[in-house]
Amino acid sequence: MVASKAQAKKAVTLAYENEDVEKINVFVNQKGYRTTPIIYLNGEAIPTSLTSQARPNQTLLNFLRTVCGLTGTKLGCGEGGCGACTVLISKYSKYSKDAGIDESECNGGGGGGNGRIVHMTVNACLFPVLAADGCHVTTVEGVGSWRSKYEGLTCEGAETAACGGGCGEEKKEDYLHPVQRAMVDIHGSQCGFCTPGIIMALYGLFAPEGKLLESGQSRVEGVGGGPKVSHLEEHLDGNLCRCTGYRPIWDAAKSLCVDAFDDEGVRGPCGTPCRECPERDTCEMDCNVKDKTNVNAGICCSSSSDKIRDYQKVLQSKHSETWWNQPNDMFPKELIPHRKNNVVNGDSGIDSIHAQTQEQLKKPLMIADSSIHCGGTWFQPVCLEELLDLFREFANDSGGIKMVVGNTEVGIETKFKHAVYPRMIHPSESIHSLYDIFSTESNFHIGACSSLSMLQHKCHEFMTSSSSDPLSSQKTRTAKPMHDMLRWFASTQIRNVACLGGNLATASPISDMNPLMAAMGAILVLASRPSADGAIKRRHIPVSDFFVGYRKVEKLEHEVIERVDVPLVKPQFEYVAPFKQARRREDDISIVTSGMRMTVTPAEENWVISDISIAFGGMAPKTVLARSTMASICGKPFTADTFMHARTELQNEFRMPDDVPGGQAEYRLTLACSFLHKFFLHCLAKLQKDVGSNKKKRYPPIPTIDDDECSGADGFVSKQKPCISGEQKFPAPKVAVGLEATHLADDESKSSEIPLAAKAVAEAKNSEKNDSTAVGKPATHASGPLHCTGEAIYADDIPAPANLLHGSLILATKCNATMRKIDVSPALNIAGVVAAFTHEDIEKLGGDNRMGPILLDEFAFLPKGEVVEFVGQPIGIVIGESQEIAETGARSVLVEYVEKEGKAVVSIEDAIEAGSFWTDFRHEIKRGGDSKVALNQSQVDGKKLVVVEGSFRCGGQEHFYLEPNSTLAIPSESGTNLTIYASTQAPTKTQDFCARVTNTPAAKVVVRMKRMGGGFGGKETRSVFSSVAAAVAAKLSNRPVRLTLNRDTDMSITGGRHAFLGIYKAGALVDQMSGSVKLHALDVQIYNNGGCKFDLTGPVLDRALFHIDNCYYWPHFHAVGTPCKTSQPPHTAFRGFGGPQGMAIAEHIIDHVAAECRISGDRLRRENLYCTNDCTPFGMRFGSQYTGAWNVPLMWDRLYNELDIPKRRAAASEFNKKNKWVKRGVGFIPTKFGIAFTAKYMNQGGALVHLYTDGTVLVSHGGTEMGA
């Protein structure tokens, strides 16, 4: 293998050479290009020795983590969907303020205010590092540091800084930024992996403004006045968190806003918070009476408003105003162009470095990668002629050339579709025709490369333009639909860099903006330069004719989209509306999207549709106009009947087969029809408004609709995003204080004799004496400051040891087939690939290739001749000098399969049909008599027996922990010892199988797990296989190996929550006299989809069986659980561990019984709750003398009354009667959840406690820090 590897390296040296390297001299000497990017990071220029390593195909995230060594910015999804990689890009720009791109004038900037410092948050996982040329990058490390807090301070000083004053000593400035401090103090982090990205997203929104104002201070005195809550709610849309539920994050963010109390903090109608009311003792308002009752009863109340109000006082005491202007103060003066009398951050002197930097930034940039990464070539022209010349020169060359602006689409293509673009062009902002947005008397002109955030803001400006502007109405009508659609387009981080031209050129069939542009009659301007000394040639083409096929457009290779011209909408009787439906509203691709435009003309007796345009995305392989539907409407009266017939025509025009790509054929067609009906309602409301505004003129009557139809006109696209807040009440916790605290409190002269840990307890007790609300306040997360500064280390953040290699798994691409042959030689022929290992190498080690948490039914690496049981099954591992090289090597491995006869067993129904079960683990629970016999009766004791039967399906779920599975395996002592740093919930299993598979004594395998970025059960067993693969590679190569799974790989092969199917027959006895209903008998069979390996499928199914009764007493009960074996990846533990699925089946059965018995679900549930001394079907008896007090009935009654459930249900029912298209409901169900394991030995725990002489304590236990 070594010899062939050497030969491969020699052969490939010529293969990956970049032919553009030879052209560098021509571009530098003849065309004035420079070859080194200029990037600033956290206030400092990145040295040339580092920027010279930046590659054209390298993301900013990869550069920050691997070249700069800054690991605070995390890799979550790698496609701009989670926000964990968010950083702030700041640059000097002539373009004005965006929604989501915040800016402020340079201090004393000069130049007539023509330039501004612009701050924008971006997804570093997509943003090209070379696109940051001429920019300042701020990462979470540059915002504030917890570590700096202790530098130069005594321990007492550190304590003082931490407490923010109040301990009697001199107060010191906090070293955390206010955004970071708020997230720590208001519990905004849990696992902490997403926290740096959220910090940076907030930091970007607060960047230009955000000084907390003193009471009564004018907003203009602050740095921009500070952001408002509505601004955050509108633009904080690009970050995911799997742990917190978002409320504490929102509370922390809103606590920093200047209008945090406009809608929060008022308890009663008097306008004063109850606990601050001067008439607190005598006030008889309900709010005050309830609050005093809670206080007297020892009830703690935690609400968003309380937290925000209390925290603003703390924040002002800990931070000075200078923090809020930090992004501007930190911005390098070298990046600000020099003008006469220019003053930069108080410095009017322009040094030579400044001048040289500015001179270099005026030049175009060319980077040609000649490394083993095959990064291609990067061009950044500074004028339109240069740009078009590059396209003319390279468009038809080998590999062509690709325009890259935000890389939001190209980045996806290169990462997930493995597209290769040898040349990329990133146009400079100095090419004004590509970035300008302006309006004329007839059109909006939108530069093709201007960001969507810029477009969104410009639309907002046009919508709010002065009423004295004669085009004000037209601008508003034109801008609003674009603005509304852009609000829901991806996320702020994506909109800040993505452009409309790229959206159009990509020609995605589910694009949000393309159908709207087509419907509005937009025209594309395509520019080209046929010859080097010739003029620029421009061609115009309607957007509706631009899309010719799936991801194909009517554009020549050497042409560039220069701008988009959108005709202004008429001042009246012309209406435009956008529509979109996705699985989630924010930051998600659409299922169906649409743009519709219509003009109506008054006739003698009615209104006539004189023009209409309807465009759809998601209904065909390209953006299409509904031409047949349009023809059926145009010229017809504007009535409900016209649109009803149009919907029928639309169904005929867009009928799709069931196997259409993307699926959901009927649903998509239904959405399209519903959009058309909503458009009719929308236009009807707008027409009424237009006619009402011109009462002097006589118009024909406007069509009328029923009142309950009006709700159909409303949609989320144009609505304000909702506000998030919450409140909870709980009994005050019981607190015990140790003897040391009592000793200190009584005699402070002896405090020097007391350990530091005891001091902390004493201070807590003393604070309780002075603060009656201290009891019940939760302590902040011990690692919270580290989470918020990016200093918390996760497995993939551990500094790279010497000679580190990166691994990538070789994964099966088929299932239900036998693996006949595997050829790793293509991988070994790739420069930078060091080795590839398969099951044969494990055999050479003498290791055991079998794995599994319960059954040893899995393989570390699938052997030849074995059946591939799921797509993505690990076959081996490739290790290389970088992760990109290892991934390329793994994809190049050739695997031959022999297809098996018959179809793969995929679903539970397939398993039932094929009899594919783990029959040894089929379990059964019985109580009472034979359920089948009990259900075959018609009456019991004179009461009618109502019987129902049916089925219930509960789908699976992805864990989506923000941190993908990651392992660093370090061999030592010639590979005889292994240290495994893993993101796992199961260190013991990891140690066991790493030792077993590598044939290493377990005593010589050390597993370290500091923290995880979320787990939710997904890293209990399914993390082990990746750690084992890394351990095998590390031992065989005798070099450290890091294996971090890509998000798509992690999601596709690690399994998730088990899907369930419940087939039931249930009966209830109805008392004809009283109307009461008592549950009688239940016979249910449940199946779960365990995937191809057993994993924890049996225990998960058992827990579902224990919860299939939920809180209800069934006298006759029979449940059978059967685990199904399918061709899916092994499914595993997930929050609830089968309990939620069992309870979901139970509640479905209750609802079915209630509907059949014609009784309310509330009543049926309450009358059939377990009572004290009742026993579950599995033998657990309720009652204090058995298993503890049974409180569910008491809790039901209390909540039912306090929440006034009947009133809420009546209100929802009344609302539903008045609204045909929008409905409301109230859910109220009880739950019980068992917390024990059926394997009794697992219900015990132990810990080793070390007490040190300074009073500190070390507890060694079997738990892991996973956040959730």
Stretch among 277-281, 403-407, 565-569, 638-642 having the lowest mean pLDDT: 277-281
Please give the average per-residue pLDDT across 1227-1245, as a whole number. Answer: 86
* Res. 264: pLDDT tops 60: no
Give the pLDDT confidence score for residue 729 in this predicted structure. Answer: 75
Tell the residue number behind the tokens 């008439």, with chain if given: 279
Give the pLDDT confidence score for residue 339 in this predicted structure. Answer: 58
Give the pLDDT confidence score for residue 466 in this predicted structure. Answer: 74
Give the pLDDT confidence score for residue 1237 in this predicted structure. Answer: 81
Contacts of 37 (CB under 8 A, 6+ apart): 51, 54, 129, 130, 132, 133, 365, 367
Counting beta carbons within 10 angstroms of the beta carbon of residue 586, is it exposed (0 to 12), middle (13 to 18) or buried (19 or more)? middle
Stretch among 113-117, 159-163, 896-900, 1162-1166 having the lowest mean pLDDT: 159-163
Q: In angstroms, rounded to a whole number, what is the distance separating the alpha carbons of residues 836 and 843?
A: 14
**pLDDT tier, 1061 (very low <50, low <70, confident <90, very high otherwise):** very high
Please give the average per-residue pLDDT across 784-791, as a whole number. Answer: 95
* Res. 756: pLDDT tops 60: no
Q: In angstroms, rounded to a whole number, what is the distance separating the alpha carbons of residues 530 and 534?
A: 7
**pLDDT tier, 853 (very low <50, low <70, confident <90, very high otherwise):** very high
Tell the residue number behind the tokens 């030969």, with chain if given: 7
Please give the average per-residue pLDDT across 145-157, as a whole number. Answer: 48
**pLDDT tier, 284 (very low <50, low <70, confident <90, very high otherwise):** confident
* Res. 190: pLDDT tops 80: yes
* Res. 1185: pLDDT tops 50: yes
- Range among 103-112, 590-599, 748-757 rated most confident: 590-599
CB 891 within 8 A of CB 415: no
**pLDDT tier, 6 (very low <50, low <70, confident <90, very high otherwise):** very low
Longest dimension (CA), the chain: 102
Please give the average per-residue pLDDT across 317-330, as a whole number. Answer: 81
- Range among 142-151, 328-337, 944-953, 1182-1191 rated most confident: 944-953
Structure token digits, residue 722: 């909702």
**pLDDT tier, 280 (very low <50, low <70, confident <90, very high otherwise):** confident
Give the pLDDT confidence score for residue 665 in this predicted structure. Answer: 95
**pLDDT tier, 189 (very low <50, low <70, confident <90, very high otherwise):** very high
* Res. 149: pLDDT tops 50: no
DSSP 920: G
Beta strand segments in 29-113, E: 39-41, 44-45, 86-93, 101-104
Q: In angstroms, rounded to a whole number, what is the distance separating the alpha carbons of residues 990 and 398?
A: 48
Angle (CA) 1130-1134-1139 rounded to 5° is 115
Nearest CA-CA partner of 385 in 282, 533, 249: 533
* Res. 471: pLDDT tops 80: yes
Give the pLDDT confidence score for residue 297 in this predicted structure. Answer: 64
CA dihedral 888, 890, 892, 893 (to 10 degrees): 170
Give the pLDDT confidence score for residue 347 in this predicted structure. Answer: 54
Give the pLDDT confidence score for residue 715 in this predicted structure. Answer: 86
Tell the residue number behind the tokens 């930034």, with chain if given: 361
Q: In what order do the strands lie in the sheet with 1077-1089?
A: 923-927, 1116-1124, 1077-1089, 1060-1070, 943-954, 939-940
* Res. 349: pLDDT tops 60: no
- Range among 49-63, 314-328, 690-704 rated most confident: 49-63
Give the pLDDT confidence score for residue 735 in this predicted structure. Answer: 54
Tell the residue number behind the tokens 């009456």, with chain if given: 939
Q: Which residue has the higher pLDDT, 901 or 1033?
A: 1033
Nearest CA-CA partner of 1147 in 340, 1139, 1207, 180: 1139
**pLDDT tier, 153 (very low <50, low <70, confident <90, very high otherwise):** very low
Stretch among 498-512, 662-676, 722-736, 914-928 having the lowest mean pLDDT: 722-736
Q: In angstroms, rounded to a whole number, what is the distance separating the alpha carbons of residues 1147 and 1145?
A: 6
CB 300 within 8 A of CB 729: yes
Digit-coded pLDDT (tens) for 1020-1048? 999 999 999 999 999 999 999 999 999 99
Please give the average per-residue pLDDT across 1051-1072, as a whole number. Answer: 96
* Res. 1111: pLDDT tops 50: yes
3-state secondary structure 206-230: HCCCCCCCCCCCCHHHCCCCCCCHH
Q: Which residue has the higher pLDDT, 291 or 402?
A: 402
Digit-coded pLDDT (tens) for 603-630? 999 999 999 999 999 999 999 999 999 9
474-477: long-range contacts, CB 8 A cutoff, minimum separation 24: 474/568, 474/569, 474/570, 474/571, 475/439, 475/568, 477/568, 477/569, 477/570, 477/571, 477/574, 477/575, 477/576
Helix axis angle for 178-185 and 247-254, nearest 10°, is 140
Give the pLDDT confidence score for residue 668 in this predicted structure. Answer: 97
CA distances from 173 to 381, 783, 1095 (A): 46, 20, 52
Q: What is the mean pLDDT of the chain?
A: 88
Please give the average per-residue pLDDT across 690-699, as a whole number. Answer: 88
Structure token digits, residue 1257: 């304590």
**1201-1238 burial, b if ≥16 CB within 10 A, otherwise e?**
eeeebeeebeeeeeeeeebeeeeeeeeeebebeeeeee
Give the pLDDT confidence score for residue 342 in this predicted structure. Answer: 52
Give the pLDDT confidence score for residue 543 in this predicted structure. Answer: 98
Please give the average per-residue pLDDT across 293-303, as a whole number. Answer: 69
